[in-house]
Structures are given as structure tokens and as C-alpha cells.
Amino acid sequence: MALIQSVNGKSPMMGEDCFIAENATIVGDVVMGDQCSVWFNAVIRGDVHYIKMGNKVNVQDGAIIHCTYEKYPTNIGNNVSIGHRAIVHGCTIHDIVLVGMGAIIMDNCVVESNTIIAAGAVVTQNTHIESGCIYAGIPAKKIKDISKELTEGEINRIADNYVKYSSWFK
């Protein structure tokens, strides 16, 4: 059974039709929208600030979402995929974003909508990622614009697929 725990009087709240894997950890001030999924060994730790997630957010295996004490909460929009072993920390991610496997997004970053953060990319503190682009590398830099086909065919497809995958476990 997943570890879902209150911290300092704040308890995680999940929307409708969410899937939480049996060894996921969700603690503290975490609010999740509808049709979200939190996969095996993922950790969402709202102990030092709040974490808010929109609808159809998937937090894949081994990913970590955290925030910075009294300084930077974490806000995640709708249709966002957080890839395997990614770290999302004290930042804002808008709608329709794919955070690739092993990517790191650090404090006080803003990732605008319709964006891909490539696998292994490191978005350093205070970076503003523009909408409609792919960012890659260490530190992450814009490598190209995203076509509407890539947004629909990749980012939204993955978010929709994770809603389907989670139905297999319910």
C-alpha cells in the first residue's frame, strides 16, 4: 500500500480516478487533479511547501517532486508527464509539458506550455523556458521549436497513455 501521510496537519488530496502505485510516497501539502497517476517508487513530498498538480499528470517510476522551505512551491499544470527518475523541485510547469527521463528542473524555474525538457537535461535555478520548444543539455538550452504535430502526437499522447496504463492497475 502506498505511503500517504500527513505532515504538520496537511494531508495529500487526490482528485477523481487517480492511480497511486503501492510503493509510491505522497506526503504533506499535495493537491492532485483528476486522472493523475503516481508510479512505482515515485516520491511527492509536500512537507516544506505546497505541491499542486493539475489533471492528467503522470509521475513516472522513481521520479521526485519536492519544493523549497518557505520559498518555492511546486506547481504543475494539466497534461504533464514527469519521466522516469526525473526531479522537479520548487518550480512551475505549465500545461502540456513532457519532462524527459532523468531530467532535473531546479528552484524558481518556469516551464511554459507545449514544451519538452529532454531526457537528462538540467534546467538550472531561475531559468525561464519558453513555450513551444525543446530544451536539452546541461545546462538546458533551446534546441528547436516544436511543431503542433509533435505537441499532439507526443506530449498529449503520453499523458493520455498514462491514463490508460493506470486503468490496468485499478
Tell me the pLDDT of the chain (170 aa) as tens digits: 899 999 999 999 999 999 999 999 999 999 999 999 999 999 999 999 999 999 999 999 999 999 999 999 999 999 999 999 999 999 999 999 999 999 999 999 999 999 999 999 999 999 999 999 999 999 999 999 998 888 878 999 999 999 999 999 98
**Total tally of structural domains belonging to the chain:** 1
C-alpha span between 163 and 119 (Å, rounded): 21
Please count the other Cβ atoms lying within 10 Å of the Cβ belonging to residue 167. 12
Predicted pLDDT of residue 93: 98
Q: Are 40 and 19 in contact (CB under 8 A)?
A: no
Count Cα neighbours of 150 within 13 Å in the Cβ-side half-sphere: 12
Which residues does 147 contact at the CB level (< 8 Å), separation at least 6?
A: none
* Domain CATH for 12: 2.160.10.10
What's the confidence (pLDDT) of residue 152?
79
Query: Domain span at residue 75?
Result: 3-167
